[in-house]
Amino acid sequence: GSEDEDDEVSVHVAKLMAEYEAKAAAGGATAQEPDTDLEAVGKDKDARADAAFLRFKMRTDKSKAQCLRYCFSPTARPLWLMSQHQQAVEDVPKCSSCGSARHFEFQVMPQLLFYLQQAPSTHEDTDADPTELDLDWGTVAVYSCASNCSAGQEAPDGYVEEHVWVQPHPK
């Protein structure tokens, strides 16, 4: 299951980190000469591998075209692109309608950006080039009411505001 995959990823990440640190200590990997085994986005300012990025890369390599990840569960967590700018579970605000906790429900993956740039424009009143869209994100995590409440009198159409956290793409 998911815990086995997480354990497998953690073991693999620890192995990659040990190999990278040994290579760096031997003078084989520096900020001036990037390690070819890791992409630049997966390193911090000291050129150390980011464990969250390695976990993200390993998981997304299994399905490179995946644009959405869905899992509504009290134990589900987003697959973060990097260690920085993650939202802690305790920082997710409670439902504004009923006051219940919110759980992670789904995330929009950065791979969607590729498909948005490839899509022909459907707006007849614009000459906008889809390749010039000013969109960029690392991942977008959406948290929904754990009680699956409906808004009642506050929103008679039944829609309730959810919480969205955007992890920016590293620059």
> What are the pLDDT digits (tens) for 91-123?
999 998 889 999 999 999 988 888 887 666 555
- pLDDT the model gives residue 121: 57
- pLDDT the model gives residue 32: 36
Whether this prediction's pTM lies above 0.75 is answered by no
- pLDDT the model gives residue 79: 92
Q: Residue 3 — very low, low, confident or very high, per pLDDT cuts 50/70/90?
A: low
Across 121-157, b (16+ Cβ under 10 Å) vs e yields: eeeeeeeeeeeeeeeeebbbbbbbbbeeeebeeeeee
Mean pLDDT of 124-149: 75
Q: Residue 34 — very low, low, confident or very high, per pLDDT cuts 50/70/90?
A: very low
- pLDDT the model gives residue 33: 38
Mean pLDDT of 29-55: 56
Which tokens belong to 80?
Answer: 């973060």
Side chain identity, residue 87: Q
- pLDDT the model gives residue 133: 55
Whole-number average pLDDT of the chain:
75
Query: Long-range contacts for 14-23 (Cβ within 8 Å, ≥24 apart)?
Result: 16/49, 16/54, 17/49, 17/51, 17/54, 20/48, 20/49, 21/48
Between 19 and 57, the more confident residue is: 57
